Amino acid sequence: MLRRTALAALATVAALTVAGCGDDTSAASSGDSGTTKLSGTVSVFAAASLTGSFTQLGKDFEKAHPGVKVTFNFAGSSALAQQINQGAPADVFASAAPKNMDQVTDKNTPTTFVRNTLEIAVPAGNPGKITGLKDFADKDRKIALCAEQVPCGAAADKVFKAAGITPQPDSLEQDVKAALTKVSLGEVDAALVYKTDVLSAKDKVEGIEFPEADKAANEYPIATLAKAPNPDGAQAFVDYVLSGQGKAVLTAAGFDAP
């Protein structure tokens, strides 16, 4: 009787040991931040409109993973896609439009993580008395738009067509932050930027909503790169962006859920 009890106890211990080993293997292979020790630098190429939110996420990620450094290259998505295809070393690409993500050949499967819509940005106090999209067709107004190959420019083209308006821009910028800067400095009467950019400028800029904006909402995809120098760090950063903590930062910045 005692022998049977002892054998049963040994069997139970063996089963628990095997189960425990299985759990450890699963956790390690999942890339969970609690079991995988990350190191080195994670290089993130991200759309200019993600500057504020991703800078914060980078700081939070570094705190969660001591010893890891996150570096960013913020620019127009089209320029970033070109740099990656030309061999620029990067671990993660976050684009402001699927089109530019599709142009990158060296990528893993992308995930759409946020949406963004356009707003009219005017300097504080609205000195140009801008009231809506129709003012973008006025040659006497100073207007800044994103270039059409940039996601914010492609979105602007859609809303102007939807509204039946032919804009008369004074400058075409290579990323949305450049257009926003012209507004905040008072160099133009208005620009079309993302609502997240209006929020980031705080009291330097005022935003004017318009109904056609919903016809050109931009979806933002993110992906690790197949030839990432730091693949573990790349996946961990993407996972962090998609986590509850990441979503909270992005929502606070004005982004919408996909």
Query: What CATH number did the domain enclosing 237 receive?
Result: 3.40.190.10
Query: How far apart are alpha carbons 183 and 173 in whole angstroms?
Result: 12
Same domain assignment for residues 135 and 193: yes
Same domain assignment for residues 186 and 203: yes
Same domain assignment for residues 122 and 211: yes
| 127 within a domain of the structure (yes/no) | yes
| 196 within a domain of the structure (yes/no) | yes
Same domain assignment for residues 207 and 241: no
Same domain assignment for residues 132 and 187: yes
Residue that is written with structure tokens 């991200």 in the block: 46
Same domain assignment for residues 211 and 123: yes
CA dihedral sign of residues 175, 179, 180, 185: positive
Number of domains the chain is built from: 2
| 34 within a domain of the structure (yes/no) | no
Query: How far apart are alpha carbons 40 and 67 in whole angstroms?
Result: 7
pLDDT at 6: 37
| 47 within a domain of the structure (yes/no) | yes
| 6 within a domain of the structure (yes/no) | no
Regions of the chain with pLDDT less than 70: 1-36
| 104 within a domain of the structure (yes/no) | yes
Same domain assignment for residues 187 and 61: no
Nearest to 190, CA basis, from 180, 199, 176, 204: 180
Same domain assignment for residues 125 and 199: yes
| 26 within a domain of the structure (yes/no) | no
Same domain assignment for residues 97 and 141: no
Rounded to 5 degrees, what are φ and ψ at 28?
A: -65, -40
Q: Are strands 92-94 and 218-224 parallel, antiparallel or unpaired?
A: antiparallel
Judge whether 224 and 23 are in contact, CB under 8 Å: no
CA dihedral sign of residues 106, 53, 114, 36: positive
Token representation of residue 86: 């030309």
pLDDT at 104: 97
Token representation of residue 178: 């450049």
| 54 within a domain of the structure (yes/no) | yes
pLDDT at 205: 97
Which residue segment(s) compose the domain that 169 sits in? Answer: 118-216
